[in-house]
Amino acid sequence: MRIRVLFAIMAAGVALALAPSAASAQATRTWVSGVGDDLNPCSRTAPCKTFAGAISKTATNGEINCLDPGAFGAVTIGKAISIVCQYTEAGALATLGSNDITVNAPAGDAVYLSGLDLQGANTGLNGVRFIGGKSLTIENSIIRNFGAVNGQGVLFAPTGTSSLLISNTSIVSNGSAATGGGVLIAPTGAGVATAVLTNVRVNNNAGVGILINGASTVMIANTTVAHNANFGIRTASGSPTVRVGTSVITGNGTGVSVAAGTIESYCTNQLNGNSGDGAFFGACLQLK
């Protein structure tokens, strides 16, 4: 009898030793703080220091929140997740030639970013680079100073079928040559992109404000595209379809340039004051 009891106690001890601890489990919601520590569990009372530290402790479809202002560092996102820092300053400062946020998630995964201040310090490559995933949403954010030669505020280059939404966001002073710019939508290979930009400010970028290539369908509404050195809105390759409404395009090298596909207007736009205004494709789209 004593032997059986001893074996039972030993077996229970082994099971407890092999079981994952509560501290190592991923949480649905985690927190970061300017005074946090990535050795913490990223709970509200013991937050992490960086997004990279928190993401490994956050479950798929979970959310990272910011407790207070801080510089939370660059991060690569490989799963469905939200980073929401709506009511505090959440910064990420890129190093030389790097991306602040890279998204390369499975085909069915959605990524949501809100309340971020992404700063390239004039040497960073891309503010947000999207390679894979179902969708990317960027809201209520500032993306600036990604000053590498090919630097982009947002580079949306899916390899599959993906969608992009940017709203209430400023994308300014990116790139240092004609190949850099504010937003580049350019699916690769068999990739297909759909995108909506609404209430976005795309200003003072070195190359093109918004460049759309490949198999892309894009709606631009209530947006200001101003003082971009070469082009405001441009299509250059592939078969993109772009529609623009209630937007201001001014102060650019060329306001609208259609070199591939179409850029159509609802004729509710202000296209003037550019070095060359250019022209939309075809007649006005019908308002119903």
Tell me how far CA of residue 231 lies from CA of 2, 134, 186, in angstroms.
Answer: 84, 29, 16
Name residue 165's beta-bridge partners: 137, 196
Q: Are 177 and 203 in contact (CB under 8 A)?
A: no
Is residue 117 located within the same domain as residue 259?
A: yes
One domain, residues 148 and 85: yes
Asked if the structure places residue 250 within a domain, the reply is yes
Q: According to the model, what pLDDT value does residue 24 have? A: 55
Listed residues 39, 66, 93: the one ending a domain: 66
Six-digit token string for 62: 């979970």
Number of domains in the chain: 2
Using the structure block, give the residue that is written with the tokens 């030793």: 17
Measure the CA–CA gap between 223 and 200, rounded to whole angstroms. Answer: 5
CA distance 99 to 114: 17
> What is the per-residue pLDDT across 42-98, written as a single tens digit (0 to 9) for each?
999 999 999 999 999 999 999 999 999 999 999 999 999 999 998 887 877 777 779
3-state secondary structure of 198: strand
Query: In this structure, are 219 and 264 located in the same domain?
Result: yes
pLDDT at 162: 98
Is residue 199 domain-shared with residue 270, that is, in the same domain?
yes
Of 36, 51, 66, which one is at a domain's C-terminal end? 66
Q: Which pLDDT does position 138 carry in this prediction?
A: 98
In a domain, 1, yes or no: no
| φ and ψ at residue 24, rounded to 5 degrees | -90, -10
Q: What is the reported pLDDT for 255?
A: 98
Q: What is the pLDDT of residue 9?
A: 42
- Could you tell me if 51 and 127 lie in one domain? no
Give the list of residues 6+ apart from residue 161 with CB closer than 8 angstroms, or none: 107, 191, 192
pLDDT at 269: 97
Residue 3 lies in a domain: no
Domain that holds residue 205: 73-278
Specify whether 51 is located in the same domain as 116.
no
**Residue 138, strand partner residues:** 113, 166
- Sign of CA pseudo-dihedral 71, 103, 256, 120: positive
Residues 104 and 159 in one domain: yes
Tell me: do 52 and 128 sit in the same domain.
Answer: no
Q: Both 51 and 77 in a single domain? A: no
Helices and strands (H and E) in the chain: how many: 2, 26
Same domain, 88 and 158: yes
Query: Which pLDDT does position 288 carry in this prediction?
Result: 64
∠ CA(24), CA(25), CA(28), 5° rounding? 135
Q: Residue 14: what pLDDT?
A: 40
Element holding 12 (H helix, E strand)? helix 2-18
Rounded Cα distance between 86 and 115, Å, is 4
Residues 53 and 80 in one domain: no
d(CA 156, CA 188): 10
Q: How many CB atoms lie within 10 A of CB 158?
A: 31
Answer whether residue 116 is part of any domain. Answer: yes
The token pair that represents 201 in the structure block: 């400010």
Q: What is the mean pLDDT of each run of 10 residues along the chain (288 residues)?
A: 44 42 74 96 97 97 95 96 89 81 98 96 96 98 95 97 98 94 97 98 98 98 98 98 98 98 97 98 82
pLDDT of 204: 98
Is 98 part of a structural domain of the chain?
yes
The residue behind tokens 């799963």 is 79
CA angle 276, 238, 271 (to 5 degrees): 25
Q: Which residue has the tokens 């959605």?
A: 110
- The reply to whether 49 and 135 lie within a common domain is no
What pLDDT is stored for residue 91 in this prediction? 78
